[in-house]
């Protein structure tokens, strides 16, 4: 018999990217770095985001790179993003390239690459464009280490939960940051002694609702707060969809607890649009 827990496990397996899914996108890394180094000067370039963290979603996640630029950080983060876009458009003139804070998004035929331009902080970390405007300080390497530590404590549950939240985001078109969801999932699991799939799925969604998708303090204590959305319209839309998700997750949890896995799975299918 398929239980709610095994159904969620299968969902995670289905949406786990294959080892070759991002090969096409990754193949553009060297040419991106070479072009930006020629035009703007590159200090370093490395992989970040869900792909690096092991929380990517099959057919939805992109290849993400942080590019630390040389020189002085301009007053306007938009100025930086536009310069990077102009540089890459000059190299990949037939590719659709746009700005989606904090990244410059390159829509290659064989995969999407998101380039996050940055400037190294005088201390540690990197300054990147804040989705709500201006600049924000981030520590992607430290964040990855922290998520891994929580994940290891729960035998991989933190990343499984993060992927579920991202599947919900993509399948239900919820305008909320993937990074925010990942950090919230890890933060939730950091405070738990064990993992129970339907209970924790509902619990983390309920926490998101209870705090109204408020900005989250950096759990490492190093960088800026994590923001969930980029506009008030996005917040309103996301909270409406979150309310529906909480209701469905609550029903799935209760049905599963009562041993009614058929109805629990029916609610999960509605939650994830499966």
How far is Cα of residue 268 from the mean position of the Cα atoms in its chain? 21
Give 97-108 pLDDT, tens digit per residue: 999 989 999 999
Give 189-246 pLDDT, tens digit per residue: 999 999 999 999 999 999 999 999 999 998 888 877 888 998 899 999 999 999 999 9
Overall average pLDDT of the 50-61 stretch: 82
CATH class of 23-138: alpha beta
Residue 52: pLDDT band (50, 70, 90) is low
Place of tokens 């997750």: 249
Cβ atoms of residues 72 and 86 within 8 Å: no
Beta-strand relationship, 126-129 and 111-120? antiparallel
Phi-psi region of 67 (alpha: psi -120 to 50; beta: other; left: phi over 0): beta
- Full-prediction pTM beyond 0.85? yes
Give 2-36 pLDDT, tens digit per residue: 999 999 999 999 999 887 777 878 889 999 999 99
Residue 71 has pLDDT above 70, yes or no: yes
Q: How far apart are CA 199 and CA 174, in angstroms?
A: 22
The domain segmentation of the chain, as residue ranges, is: 4-17+142-272, 23-138
Count Cβ neighbours within 10 Å for each residue of 154-193 and write b for 16 or more, e otherwise.
beebbbbbbbbbbbbbbebebbbbbbbbbbbbbbbbbebe
Q: How far apart are CA 110 and CA 95, in angstroms?
A: 11
Q: How far apart are CA 227 and CA 224, in angstroms?
A: 9
Give 73-127 pLDDT, tens digit per residue: 999 999 999 999 999 999 999 999 999 989 999 999 988 999 999 999 988 899 9
């Amino acid at each position: 018999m398929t239980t709610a827990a095994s159904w969620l496990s299968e969902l995670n397996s289905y949406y786990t990217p294959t080892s070759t899914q991002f090969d096409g996108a990754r193949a553009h890394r060297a040419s991106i770095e070479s072009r930006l180094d020629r035009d703007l000067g590159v200090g370093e370039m490395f992989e970040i985001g869900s792909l690096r963290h092991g929380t990517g979603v099959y057919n939805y996640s992109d290849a993400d790179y942080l590019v630390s630029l040389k020189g002085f950080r301009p007053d306007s983060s938009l100025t930086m993003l536009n310069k990077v876009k102009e540089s890459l458009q000059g190299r990949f003139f037939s590719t659709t390239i746009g700005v989606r804070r904090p990244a410059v998004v390159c829509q290659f035929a064989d995969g999407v690459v998101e380039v996050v331009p940055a400037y190294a902080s005088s201390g540690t970390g990197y300054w990147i464009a804040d989705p709500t405007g201006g600049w924000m300080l981030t520590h992607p390497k430290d964040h990855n280490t922290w998520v891994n530590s929580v994940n290891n404590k729960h035998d991989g549950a933190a990343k499984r939960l993060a992927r579920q939240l991202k599947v919900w985001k993509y399948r239900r078109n919820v305008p909320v940051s993937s990074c925010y969801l990942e950090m919230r999932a890890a933060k939730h699991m950091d405070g738990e002694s064990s993992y129970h799939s339907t209970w924790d799925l509902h619990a983390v969604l309920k926490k998101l609702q209870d705090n109204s998708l408020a900005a989250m303090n950096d759990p490492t204590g190093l960088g800026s707060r994590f923001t969930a959305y980029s506009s008030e319209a996005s917040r309103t839309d996301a909270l409406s969809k979150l309310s529906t998700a909480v209701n469905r997750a609550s029903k799935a949890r209760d049905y599963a607890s009562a041993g009614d896995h058929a109805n629990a799975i029916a609610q999960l299918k509605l939650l994830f649009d499966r």
